[in-house]
Structure formats: C-alpha cells, structure tokens
Amino acid sequence: MSPTGSFKYACALIAIALCSACSGAQDDTAVAPSSASLSARYVGKTLWLNGRPVTAARAYLGPRPRFATIAPHVIPGQKREYVINYYGSYASIFNYPKSTEQVGTINDVGGQGCSDVLYGYGKKTFWIVAGSEQIVEYKVRNTELLKTLSVSFSFPSSCAMDSSGDLAIGNLEGGQVAIFKNASGTPTVYSTPMDEEFFDGYDNQGNLFADGFTGDRSGFALVELPKGSTTFKTITTSNTVEFPGSVQWDGTYLTVFDQLADNIYQYTVSGTTATLEGTIPLSGVGDCAQTWIAKGVVYCGDAGDYDGSVFSYPAGGAPLAIFTGNFVEPLGVVAAEKR
C-alpha cells in the first residue's frame, strides 16, 4: 500500500458529529436531522463506527454540513436514486436528472442497497441491507415496505440479485454469503476464502462474485461462486486493488471499485483470472462507499465527502452532479424506477 493509503488508516478513536434520523417512512418528504455523535476506529483496515464494522474505507472527518428543512414536494419522473446512510438512520431520496435536490426519505434504515436488475434502474422495487433482521424490500412509487428477510450472522454487508430473482447477502465479519432463492424463505449460507466480505454482484451468466479481505486483513480478495456450484473459488486480478469496493456487472464487463484509488476496474474473467480491460477514474470524491452503475451514469454514495454524486459512465472523470440534501455518513446507493 502507498504511504498515502497507509496514512488514511492511521486513525485512533475519533468523534464524528453526525445527523440522526426521525422515525417512520416518508415519500417525497424530507426532514432535517438533529445533531448526534458517532465514534470511529480502525481494526486493521476495517472501519468501525459506533462498534459496528462498515464497508466504507473512510469516514467524514471534517465539520458536518448544516442543512435546513427541505419542503415536501414532488418532482415528476420515473427514476429514483437512494443514498443510504448509516445503520438505523435513513435513505435520502433523489430524482436525477430532473433535479439534484432531495425529494424524500425512508427512515430507520441504513447500509447498502441493490435492486432486481444486474445494472441500471431497478424494476419497481429495491433492497436495503440495514441489519441481520432488516433486509428489506421497498416499492419505488410510495416507498411501501414489501418484505423483510433475516440472516443468522450479525453484520450483513452487501446485497445483489441475479436475473432469476435470487438475492445474495454478504457477511462482513466472517466472509460468508447467504443466498435467498427467489428472494424469500430461509437462505443457503456459503463459506468463502475471505475473512471479511464487503460487496457482491452477479454477472449476466448467473455467476456470483464478491470481494473483501483475506484472513489477516492485509490482502484484497475477489472470489466467485460459479452458477450451479456450491464452492467459492479465488479469482486473481491482473492489477492491484487496494481496498474492496462495489462489484457489479456493467453490461459488458465485471467491475470492481477500488475505494482508495477511486477507480472502477473493468474485467473479463476466465477460469480463475480476471484480466483488466479498462480503468475508469472518478475524480473529486472522498470515498464512494458504494457505487451503482445505470445507463450512461454511475452513482456514488460518498462517505468521505458526506454526499451523493453522479458521474458519466464509462467516461468517469469529474462529477456530472452533486446531490443536495440531508446525509448521515452515506454507506450505500442504488437506483430504481417506477415502471
């Protein structure tokens, strides 16, 4: 790791002034949160906030922005983007490209998100992984809670859906992956070669990929559960990835985001080797704790800069837009559509 990367992890206990959420779910209504505090520390390379490990590489360490109450309003359009904040807080709702202003909230959630598509805008629903018994599915139109699932491990970290509707949930502390057939019932839990699982994603063939750290938290790992298999195998990347980030199919390539390099890496995978085919830099970000690729764009839930942003895809570069609204240490982002 570079000296800069090492410095980013040289943190002791720090106090972070954050915003807390109100209770209940609201559609096209946003409220300003009150002040609260969140403590942070690193265990190896893993960031812990208030005693819970998170998949973000960095926390927001500067003065917290102060936001006024956003008046309830409805912006026409089908698309919705959800910047998902710290566990137990809320998801901030947006309607880009109609506007960059927050149009609503979903309260009492947090963590990562995924939808029922490999990439792009989810078809009417999306998922938020907020806790071991808070894997929740919402309807886009009115943020109606449709379903709640649970896993046996304490720190679910990620979610992904394949084209048949199976839902995969990762375990940050332990590295397992639980798969719910048809996103329902009791999951089948699979071990992986990793000690910590951060992100997962399916490709267009139904193969499940996940990334994280190996047992000593010193090495990046990418693994694959081939479709029809019961055993994860280690995939070697042809380049170095410093810190695990989102794993997602982009319509052509398997992509892995590096939270320290701020790059999206595009791979072709053959056997146990992932060959780098392209690098897409995202500039002007603090830490995209999760990214979500849609048609022509990629969204960033920025834990480092305390906001959400939009970039051109696959061009990358500087942001096309920065979302304005209320945030509580963004950890996830997902996009869906009223179809």
- CATH number where 136 lies: 2.120.10.30
Kindly indicate the confidence band of residue 29, based on its pLDDT and cuts at 50, 70 and 90.
very low
Distances (CA, A) of 267 to 203, 238, 254, 256, 300: 11, 9, 5, 8, 20
Residue located via tokens 């990347």: 237
Does the pLDDT of residue 125 top 80, yes or no? yes
Residues in the chain: 339
Taking only the tens place, the pLDDT of each residue in 224-259 is 999 999 999 999 999 999 999 999 999 999 999 999
The parent domain of residue 89 ranges over 3-337
0.85 exceeded by the pTM?
yes
- Give the total number of structural domains in the chain: 1
pLDDT bucket at 77, cuts 50 / 70 / 90? low
Burial of 257 (0-12, 13-18, 19+ CB in 10 A): buried
Contacts 24+ apart (CB under 8 A), 94-99: 94/308, 94/323, 94/325, 96/310, 96/321, 96/323, 97/321, 99/75
In this predicted structure, the answer to whether residue 179 has a pLDDT above a threshold of 60 is: yes
Beta bridge pairs of residue 333: 83
Q: What is the arithmetic mean of pLDDT over 195-223?
A: 93
Alpha-helical (H) ranges within the chain are 3-9
State mean pLDDT over 198-227: 93
Quick one: pLDDT band at residue 44, thresholds 50, 70, 90?
Answer: confident
Average pLDDT, stretch 165-171?
97
Average pLDDT value for the chain:
86
The DSSP symbol for 181 reads G
b/e sequence 99-135, b meaning 16+ C-beta within 10 Å: bbbbbbbbbbbbbbbbbbbbbbbbebbbbbbbbbebb
pLDDT at residue 339 in the model: 75
User: Distance (Å, rounded) from C-alpha 203 to C-alpha 171?
Assistant: 20
User: What span, in angstroms and rounded, lies between the C-alpha atoms of 96 and 94?
Assistant: 6
Residue 252 structure tokens: 């052509």
Cα–Cα distance measured from residue 45 to residue 50, given in angstroms and rounded to the nearest whole number:
16
Please indicate whether residue 127 or residue 59 has the higher confidence score (pLDDT). 127
CA separation for the pair 287, 119 (Å, rounded): 21
Per-residue pLDDT, averaged over 81-100, amounts to: 95
Residue 68 has pLDDT above 50, yes or no: no
Is residue 27 predicted with pLDDT exceeding 80? no
